[in-house]
Amino acid sequence: MRHRRVILFSLFGVVIAVTVGLLLLWALGYSALEGYAYLLEYSLLSRTALFSTLSRAALLVLLGLSASTAFASGALNLGQSGQFLIGAMAATVFGLFVNLPAFLQIPLSLAVAALAGMLYASIAAFFRRRFNMNELIVTLMLNFVADYFTQFLIAGPLFEEGRQSPASPAINASGWFPVYKGFDTGILVALLAFILIYLLWNRSKTGYEWTIMGQNSIFSRIGGCPNEENFTKAMLVSGALAALAGALVIMGGIQHRFMPGIKANYADDGIMIAIVANNKVVATAIYAIMFAIMRTGAMGMELETGVPLEFVHVLTAITVLFVVASREYSQYLIDRFSAFLRARRISSRIEDYAGRDSSGSMD
């Protein structure tokens, strides 16, 4: 029953957000319904549109799961963007210097990227366990380190001679994700990761211990769970997921090289998705797909109706606000209202009683 309620509140939030978006478009003088129609058309209604939405969704699912796995177990990993870049760089380096048959090259390249992301996240886990340093701050700072370090690499050691701007050379073609009729097989990596993470959270001992630790770490400690180990595990899994997203950007798509700006806003979106999804695995995937639809469709909307691309950012912000706020606040309002009704029922019953029995004795 509680689950249904949660879903209901989330839907309510989405509906409100969409309505507010409509009003906003209408107030700005655009044809609102038409805009939405193009948004859907350019994100879902053709094969290319659908596949490019799915490619984007794959990245957002991985980054969203990275954030929600960390947050739900109480590990505040905000280093998705750093781990993403390190993962992308690891895949690039591997793809530049190793050349194996594709059936080995692709999984190995993914494994190397995931490992690099784990290593990068483990720095924060180590500082937390050894010196009790706040992982939130350490991971945030390491984002800058990753950013400048990768920029240095593509401007220096990995710079492709003859280019106008910094970028690495393209990786060996054996490491490219095969594309079937526009469908980037990298998407399957995200699907596989989603299934594994779902099993981890819902079927494994570690997932159970993460759940308890995320809600009350003293309780899990007293219960005998190895909190410190579980914290490290959560950081590592979170780092690996973010790094896989980085690898997907290099190994999929058309460029196949590390260029400035590849991280775009993916990492921040991932954190936002985790927050909207309340760190739940399935909800994270659903919101990731929804965000991907909006981001991809936005270009079509701009093309056809002139609604600026940035409008979608406003729309996602509104969605976040309404979903998160309605989750917390509508529960509160409903509770308050039901308490009020209950109190009124009791008072009126007492009055009836006093009216019938004017002596007023109560027992």
Task: Identify which range of 21-29, 204-212, 241-249, 306-314 contacts other proteins by CB under 8 A.
Answer: 204-212
Closest CA to 78 of 136, 126, 123, 119: 136
CA distance 338 to 346: 12
When binding is defined by CB under 8 A, the residue of 86, 106, 212, 298 that contacts other proteins is: 212
CA distance 271 to 324: 13
The letter for the amino acid at 320 is V
CA distance 173 to 187: 18
Structure tokens that stand for 278 in this block: 């309340």
- Is residue 130 a contact residue for other proteins (CB under 8 A)? no
When binding is defined by CB under 8 A, the residue of 19, 46, 134, 215 that contacts other proteins is: 215
Closest CA to 118 of 144, 137, 150, 90: 90
> CB of residue 292 vs other proteins: minimum separation in angstroms?
30
When binding is defined by CB under 8 A, the residue of 222, 254, 356, 358 that contacts other proteins is: 222
Give me the DSSP letters along 34-74.
Answer: HHHHHHHHHHHSSHHHHHHHHHHHHHHHHHHHHHHHHHHTT
When binding is defined by CB under 8 A, the residue of 46, 317, 350, 352 that contacts other proteins is: 350
Q: Are 360 and 46 in contact (CB under 8 A)?
A: no
Task: Identify which range of 56-64, 70-78, 218-226, 279-287 contacts other proteins by CB under 8 A.
Answer: 218-226
> CB of residue 122 vs other proteins: minimum separation in angstroms?
21
- Is residue 352 a contact residue for other proteins (CB under 8 A)? no
Would you say 79 or 207 has its CB closer to other proteins?
207
Environment class of residue 250 by beta-carbon count within 10 Å: exposed (0-12), middle (13-18) or buried (19+)? buried
Q: Give the three-state DSSP class for 127.
A: helix
> CB of residue 108 vs other proteins: minimum separation in angstroms?
25
CA distance 178 to 312: 31
Per-residue binding string, other proteins, 144-183, x by CB under 8 A, is ----------------------------------------
CA distance 325 to 316: 14
- Is residue 197 a contact residue for other proteins (CB under 8 A)? no
- Is residue 204 a contact residue for other proteins (CB under 8 A)? yes
Q: Are 270 and 67 in contact (CB under 8 A)?
A: yes
Task: Identify which range of 102-110, 167-175, 215-223, 302-310 contacts other proteins by CB under 8 A.
Answer: 215-223
Per-residue binding string, other proteins, 318-347, x by CB under 8 A, is --------------x-xxx-xxx-xxx-xx
> CB of residue 219 vs other proteins: minimum separation in angstroms?
5
User: Site for other proteins (CB under 8 A): how many residues?
Assistant: 37
- The residues that touch other proteins, with contacts defined as CB under 8 A, are 2, 203-206, 208-209, 211-212, 215-216, 218-226, 332, 334-336, 338-340, 342-344, 346-347, 349-350, 354, 362-363
